[in-house]
Amino acid sequence: MTKKAPPNPQCKMRETTAKESDAIKEEIISFKTWLDNQYNKNLYKKYRIKKPLSKTTKKNIIKWVRKILKDIGKRPEEINEKDIMKYREMCLRNYEPNGINNRFQALNYLLKYLGHEEWRLKLVPTPRKRYETLNNMERKKLIETANHMKPLDKAIIFLLLEGICRPVDIQNIKIKNIRFEEHKILLEQSKTGEYIKRRGDIDAIFMTPRIEEAIKEYLKIRKKILPRKKEYEEYLFLHPWNKNYGKPIGYEKIRKTLKKAVAMAQINKKVTPYTLKRTEITREFDRGVNPEVIRIRARHRRIETTLLYDNKKEDEIANYLFSEQYNDDVTAFPIEEQKKILADRLIKGEITLEDFNKLLSVLEKKSSIKKESYIGYV
């Protein structure tokens, strides 16, 4: 008989018995009922609106609470402050900031439910990550590829890219909310919808000529698709074939459509729906578009959120600082001259020492590449 490996103390503090497991299930049912009466705290704090938590939010909280109780190995009513501190230390050792905060947020709801808000855990700061975006050539290739795809797929790609859409917003588009004369699609419920409306803005996807053309083309096919249920009739995007025929599309359809388009366009990068969102926002900033216009298009409640999607790397900064755009009448500098200018800006306090070293490293690489190209002519 093979020996069973001992449980990892970092992931599970002790095994629960079958009896305890049943008790936890009952407690979860009670916790679910309690969650139904909770509301969005940020929305209430800012506008005094008691909006219930979304189905997705509640589902995620329940998912994490189940994992937390399994890791702690106790029934909810048995948990004490020492258990919470041990769990906190375990999370800080084993998980990334986003994973930690997902657990802490769910745990804080559980502690509120148990009447122990004084044990709440403070969320950890999340470092800003630099994500890849598509360059202009890759963006162009994706657009050209989308133009040759089926109407449904074409509409999805253009909404992700030029509509700066979240996948869930695409899934929930209703035919009655399409306003071709106003070049927008109204959204009934979105992640930031309540905040947007309270600011006096319209929660809508702003259509480009490509989006409008793609949707009009798809609508010709949509008329022939029979919704599987009466409640599906109002949705714009329904599956036109296979086992899901007549059902509204979901995230998986959007993901697979994008994956297919990226492969057809021969783009050698990992591309997700949010890659396209970052690509469009970064492109708009590069073109000098008013940041408020970009924020409204992206349906963000704060401009700070929009700025997080503007992705730039050190080599792009170096190229800009020594470009005609930045230096007006100067079109080109020798590498050594660029280094002198960079040092001068450091002395004047225009750039930090850290940025100076990064930019200098980029220039050294450029210099090395040029030397190698000259050697080829000897």
Each residue of 241-260: pLDDT tens digit?
A: 889 999 999 999 999 999 99
Report d(CA 154, CA 377) in Å as an integer: 47
What is the percentage of the chain residues whose pLDDT exceeds 90? 53
* 86 three-state secondary structure: helix
Instruction: Give yes or no for a contact between 240 and 248, defined as CB atoms under 8 angstroms apart.
Output: no
- Stretch 214-238: mean pLDDT: 96
**What is residue 106's predicted lDDT score, i.e. its pLDDT?**
95
Q: What is the pTM of this model?
A: 0.64
**Whole-number Å distance between alpha carbons of 106 and 57:** 10
DSSP string, 285-335: HHTT--HHHHHHHHT-SSHHHHHHT----HHHHHHHHTSHHHHTT-----H
User: The tokens of 37 are what?
Assistant: 């009466």
pLDDT in tens, 297-308: 998 888 888 888
b/e code 170-199 from CB counts within 10 Å (16+ = b): bbbbeeebbeeeeebbebeebbbbbbbeee
Contact 271, 258 (CB under 8 A): yes
Q: Which two tokens stand for residue 40?
A: 């969005």
∠ CA 304-189-100, rounded to 5°? 55
Which pairs from 83-86 meet CB under 8 Å and 24+ separation? 83/13, 84/111, 84/119, 84/121, 86/13
Cα distance between residue 17 and residue 9, in whole Å: 17
Residue with tokens 């919704």: 227
Render pLDDT for 263-290 as a digit per residue (tens, 0 to 9).
Answer: 999 999 999 999 999 999 999 998 889 9
Q: Which helix (H) or strand (E) holds 186?
A: strand 184-186
How many CB atoms sit inside 10 A of residue 215's CB? 23
Measure the CA angle with vertex 70, ends 121 and 53; round to 5°. Answer: 55
Query: At a CB cut-off of 8 Å and minimum separation 6, what does 352 contact?
Result: none
Most confident of 273-277, 309-313, 369-373: 273-277
Q: Give me the mean pLDDT over the 31-51 stretch.
A: 75
Distances (CA, A) of 344 to 327, 335, 364: 14, 14, 17
**Cα distance between residue 290 and residue 300, in whole Å:** 14
Average pLDDT over residues 87-113: 94
Instruction: Look at residue 365 in the predicted model and tell me its pLDDT.
Output: 73
pLDDT at position 47, please? 57
3-state helix, strand, coil in the chain (%, to 5): 60, 5, 35
Tokens standing for 156?
């999805």
| Mean of pLDDT over the chain | 84
Residue 341: what pLDDT?
81
Q: Which residues of 60-74 are buried (b: 16+ CB within 10 A; e: fewer)?
A: ebbebbeebbebbbb
Interval 153-166 mean pLDDT = 97
What fold is seen in the domain 136-308? Answer: hpI Integrase; Chain A (1.10.443)
Band of the pLDDT at 355, cuts 50, 70, 90? confident
Spatial distance between the Cα atoms of 301 and 42, rounded to a whole number of angstroms: 12
Q: What is the CATH number of domain 18-119?
A: 1.10.150
Backbone φ and ψ for 17, nearest 5 degrees, come out as -80, 165
Rounded CA-CA distance 237/255 in Å is 14
In tens, the pLDDT along 46-65 reads 656 667 888 888 999 999 99
204-206: strand order across its sheet = 178-179, 184-186, 204-206
Q: Give the span between the Cα atoms of 33 and 27, in whole angstroms.
A: 10
How far separated are the first and last CA of the chain, in Å rounded?
Answer: 73
